[in-house]
Amino acid sequence: MTLPVAILAGCLAASTLVAVPAAADPIDESANSNGFAVDTLPDGGARVTLRLNEPLPVRDAVPELAVDGRIIGPASESPDGLTLTVETTDTTVTTAKSVEVAWNGVVPGTQAAAKSATPPATVKNHGKKPVYTDPAQPGPYTVERLDYDLGDTATTLSGLSDLPVELRAAVYAPAGAKGKRPVVIFQHGRHSACYNPSTRQTNNTNWPCAAGFIPIDSYLGYTETAEALATHGYIVVSISANGINAKDASFTDDNGAMARGQLVMAHLDLLASWTNSNGPKRHPLSGRLDLDNVGLMGHSRGGEGVVEAALLNAERKHPYGIQAVLPLAPVDFGRATLPGVPMAVILPYCDGDVSNQQGQHFYDDTRYSYRDDVLRSSLMVMGADHNFFNTEWTPGVSVAPSSDDWSPANDEVCGSASPSRLTAAEQRAVGTAYMAGFFRLVQGKEQAFLPLFDGTNGTVASTGRAVVYAEAQQPRSSRTDVAPLERPAPNVTMSGFDLGAYCYSVAARVLPGDTPCSSTTATSKVPHWTPATFAPAVPLSPVLRLQWGAASVSPALQIALAPGQFDVNRYDALTFRAARDESATGDVDLDVTLVDGKGRSATVRVGDVSPALTPFPSSTNTANGISRLGKTWLRTVRVPLDALPNVDLGNVRSISVRPATPAGGVYLSDFAFDTPAVGGGVATRAELASIADVTVAEGNGPGTATMQLTLSKALKDPATVQVQTAASGSATAGQVPALSFPVTIPKGASSVTIAIPLTGNTTVNTASLRYKITISAPVGVAIGDGFAWLTVLDDDTA
């Protein structure tokens, strides 16, 4: 799959350059601007261009532009990092008085300060159980290094328009281990590619590095985790992605996601060529690599990259055995899903880069997207920032310049001196335990590590005082879904609540009459509902939202079991996901009751078995106007069935949920009975949907442009994808409106046409326009090539 070259923005038109006053307090998250321009486009839209006096800091998040304090969309970044551009249909920007850089929905300096702080909650021990073996403890093997370096321009990637990149990796192998060993690939995220050892200046606009600069070895930053795995018999290959980092800002198709996936596959191909080598040039890795047992870890943009690699792998006639994928503090710009492969997403609570924790969508979107049979988990690591999982991104440890991505430093929850903030060493220890534990659980089938990921609150000594919360979905064969609570269902009734409605997305992203899950504009507070960069209008993470007060009359949620679901004896627990509503104050709790066929019942209070309804910590310190804490994030509640002795577990008929506090509000989803397990994951076999570029004439009035959606193979069951038109990085004005809509693909289909609304005109335009079309959030399929360009030709003559 080859992505088209994106339109590179950055040239100022013949408009007046308006000076922007420097901020009184410089924002440490972005360069101060020295001017902006607003140009009227031929089709009636506008282009907003911001010039910076120094390049943006290199972050994994995508920069946005805000006009007069209001965000207008993600920005295209020029190759030198000094120009940001957004095209929009909103012509009110022509009267702009200020244009600023924003990150993750937050405009620095404009957000109101919080009224009060919510201190970190002191919760009960909720049944946490120590795991008897620690994945951070060294195993029987010593580690030998078998690094390789084929040079800065060793290969080209079509996802980077065939620009050259390096093939370089650190290889950690178990010395003396017999036979073929499982393989784990690590891929780092977006960081400066080069630095000058003398001046300590960094550079991310040249690859290979400019004269006087040398590469920053981000790929060496996971040595502790790599060695922990290698001592237990794994071969870990940590690959360098500097060539992508230096160029991906100019690729508005996907910001380098496909290129990162292709780089992983290029390394697997290289390893495959070596593992079967023989003769006098026999490679040291020959015969030692089990490429039918591969795990992938990607940090930040590398997280989206390893998901893309697993999907690229599915297109191959002879795929590698990718059996486990771990996105670490990942981005998810396009809302792809990854069915069929066990997955654990790790989110750091104090992430100051990808502060909206959009990688949560990998978990949310994949849960019911495909009939697979694997464990999925999402973990929130309290007190951890974005960078410190990698030693080369950690001050005091790194060779090149690095920083703590969280600011301000004096924040009482996430600041560097806060008691609740983990030290860099503590954070790396958590990373090692959970990364090594996940790959040993899935690839090595070491069931002892399952409690770290299945929502049963397992802990190990090496993580020390760190607090890690979990949400988990067990494999299909180990659970019975009773009520996903994504939409109305005949077996679910509710009464007496002040609000009882299915919600999705944030208030600015729902259709008229629908219920939003959140009213906040600070999407860093709501990881489930932060809009995706390339699919901002596609509905996000539907759940049930309940609110009640003193005047509510006997509020209750009732869930009836179907006849084939009555016998739950083979399961360990009733589980569901829950979070307190963002409007709730004070204590919030629920009583959950199971009723059997003879009317006998047993009730458990959520607060007695789970901290899910306790608030996450927030802070009063909103220096620079940034308020990213007090997050709403659903945690898994597990009600052990052996705690319900009075109920016939062979004949359970209903579940009821009632408030246990006079007032409050909650979000609920995913009611199921389950037993923890890993499932039968292998390299994903999901059908892949791709969309192709097309060029059309505009016409003289309302019409449609037809685009083709193709499948990698005919569908066994119907499927849907969400289509986003005129998404970020394309001309959002003119003939193609910015909207989203679902497309159904019928059973047996291998392709389907998509009708894109198109409004032609009789006005002579100076140029044809291109619009980015994105497919995302699939159900019944996965995404192959999810981006295409619709080029609309002007067909009018003077």
Q: What is the pLDDT of residues 462-489, one digit of tens each?
A: 999 999 999 999 999 999 999 999 999 9
Q: How many residues does the chain have?
A: 798
Q: What is the pLDDT of residue 44?
A: 67
Q: What is the pLDDT of residue 259?
A: 96
Three-state secondary structure call for residue 135? coil
Q: Is-contact 546 665, C-beta < 8 A?
A: yes
Token digits of residue 246: 């230096």
Tell me the C-alpha distance between 620 and 205, whole Å. Answer: 38
Spatial separation of the C-alpha atoms in residues 148 and 757, rounded to whole Å: 51
Which of 61-70, 139-148, 640-649 has the lowest average pLDDT? Answer: 61-70
Buried b (16+ CB within 10 A) or exposed e, 506-545: bebbbeeeebbbbebbbbbbbbbbbbbbbbbbbbbbbbbb
C-alpha span between 411 and 408 (Å, rounded)? 6
Q: Is the predicted pLDDT of residue 15 greater than 70, yes or no? A: no
Among 374, 319, 298, 387, CA closest to 343:
374
Q: Give 547-614 as a DSSP string.
A: EE-TT--S-EEEEEPPGGGS--TT-SEEEEEEEE-TT--S---EEEEEEETTS-EEEEEHHHH--TTS
For 377, the token pair is: 């988990």
The Cα 381–Cα 468 span in angstroms is 5
- Interstrand relation of 214-215 and 235-239 (parallel, antiparallel or unpaired): unpaired
For residue 549, what are its two tokens?
């007060």
- DSSP label at 423? P
SS3 303: helix
- Burial (CB count <10 Å: 0-12, 13-18, 19+), residue 480: middle
- Gap between the Cα atoms of 245 and 207, Å rounded: 9
The whole-number pLDDT of residue 58 equals 85
82 pLDDT tier (thresholds 50, 70, 90): confident
pLDDT at position 252 over 70: no
pLDDT at 117 over 50: no
Is the C-alpha dihedral spanning 536, 541, 543, 545 positive or negative? negative
Distance, CA of 4 to CA of 243 (rounded, Å): 18
Using DSSP bridges, classify how beta strands 499-506 and 515-518 pair: parallel, antiparallel or unpaired. parallel
Mean pLDDT of 46-61: 84
Read off the pLDDT of each residue in 112-119 and give the average, rounded to a whole number.
Answer: 37
pLDDT for position 627: 62
pLDDT of residue 123: 37
pLDDT of 619 reads 85
CB-CB contact of 108 with 102 (8 Å):
yes
How open is the CA angle 211-217-220, to the nearest 5 degrees?
Answer: 165
* Percentage of residues in the chain having pLDDT higher than 70: 89
Q: Which of 455-459, 496-500, 672-676 has the lowest mean pLDDT?
A: 455-459
Tens digit of pLDDT for each residue in 524-566? 899 999 999 999 999 999 999 999 998 999 999 999 999 999 9
CA pair distance 342, 376, nearest whole angstrom: 6
| pLDDT(27) > 50 | no
- Model confidence at 768: pLDDT above 80: no
- What is the average per-residue pLDDT within 265-275? 95
Q: Contact, 470 vs 455, CB < 8 A? A: yes
Instruction: State percent of the chain over pLDDT 90.
Output: 71
| Residues in Cβ contact with 346 at an 8 Å cutoff, skipping those fewer than 6 apart | 326, 327, 328, 329, 379, 381, 431, 434, 435
Place of tokens 């036979």: 179
Are the C-beta atoms of 668 and 485 separated by less than 8 Å?
yes
Q: What is the pLDDT of residue 767?
A: 67
Give the pLDDT confidence score for residue 180 in this predicted structure: 96
Confidence of residue 645 (pLDDT cuts 50, 70, 90): confident
**Which pLDDT belongs to residue 46?**
83
d(CA 388, CA 384): 8
Exposed/middle/buried for residue 646 (C-beta within 10 Å: 0-12, 13-18, 19+) = exposed
CA distance 421 to 342: 30
In this predicted model, which residue has the larger pLDDT, 430 or 792? 430
CA-to-CA distance for 393 and 57, rounded, in angstroms? 13
Tell me the longest C-alpha to C-alpha distance in the chain: 84
The verdict on whether omega for the bond into residue 742 sits within 30 degrees of 0, i.e. cis, is no
- Tell how far CA 523 is from the center of its chain: 13
Token readout for 348 is: 């750091």
Neighbouring residues of 386: CB distance < 8 A, sequence distance ≥ 6: 60, 300, 329, 348, 351, 352, 353, 354, 405, 406
The pLDDT of 442-451, averaged and rounded, is 96
Examine the pLDDT at 335 and tell me if it is beyond 90.
Answer: yes
**HSE of 472, CA atoms in CB hemisphere, 13 A:** 33
Which of 234 and 48 is assigned the larger pLDDT?
234
Q: Which residues face 312 on adjacent strands?
A: none
Distance between CA atoms of 46 and 519, rounded to whole angstroms? 28
pLDDT band at 128 (very low <50, low <70, confident <90, very high): low
CA dihedral 363, 586, 350, 307 (to 10 degrees): 0
- Whether the Cβ atoms of residue 46 and residue 733 lie closer than 8 Å to each other: yes
Higher-confidence position of 107 and 543: 543
What band does 43 get if pLDDT is binned at 50, 70 and 90?
A: low
The whole-number pLDDT of residue 84 equals: 87
Q: Which residues pair with 22 in a beta bridge?
A: none
pLDDT at 109: 55
Answer for the pair 65, 48: CB distance below 8 angstroms, yes or no: yes
User: Which carries the bigger pLDDT value, residue 722 or residue 84?
Assistant: 722
Of 57-61, 95-99, 400-404, where does mean pLDDT reach its minimum?
A: 57-61
Residue 1: per-residue pLDDT:
37
Please report, for residues 568, 683, 781, the alpha-carbon distance to residue 479 in angstroms, rounded to integers and kept in the order given. 10, 22, 22
Rounded to 5 degrees, what are φ and ψ at 474?
Answer: -75, 165
Q: Is the pLDDT of residue 602 over 90?
A: yes
Residue 582 pLDDT greater than 70, yes or no: yes
Question: What local confidence, expressed as pLDDT, does residue 13 receive?
Answer: 30
Secondary structure element (H or E) that encloses residue 312, with its range: helix 301-314
Report if pTM > 0.75: yes
pLDDT band at 520 (very low <50, low <70, confident <90, very high): confident
> Can you give the pLDDT at residue 131?
78
Nearest to 763 by CA among 795, 723, 727: 795
Least confident of 82-96, 668-682, 728-742, 758-772: 728-742
Those residues with Cβ within 8 angstroms of residue 403's Cβ, 6 or more apart along the chain or in another chain: 387, 393, 395
Residue 174: predicted pLDDT: 98
Dihedrals φ, ψ of 564, to 5°?
-75, 0
pLDDT of res. 115: 36
CA-to-CA distance for 564 and 583, rounded, in angstroms?
38
Strand pairing of 148-149 and 168-174?
antiparallel
pLDDT at 734: 61
For position 355, what pLDDT does the model report? 92
d(CA 410, CA 118): 16
Query: What's the rounded Cα separation, in Å, for the pair 137 and 712?
Result: 43
Please tell me the distance from the alpha carbon of residue 349 to that of residue 619, in angstroms, as a whole number: 13
Q: Is the pLDDT at 586 greater than 50, yes or no?
A: yes
Helices 223-230/424-442 angle, 10° precision: 40
Three-state secondary-structure class, residue 329: coil
755-760-764 Cα angle (round to 5): 145
Closest CA to 581 of 636, 633, 506, 639: 633
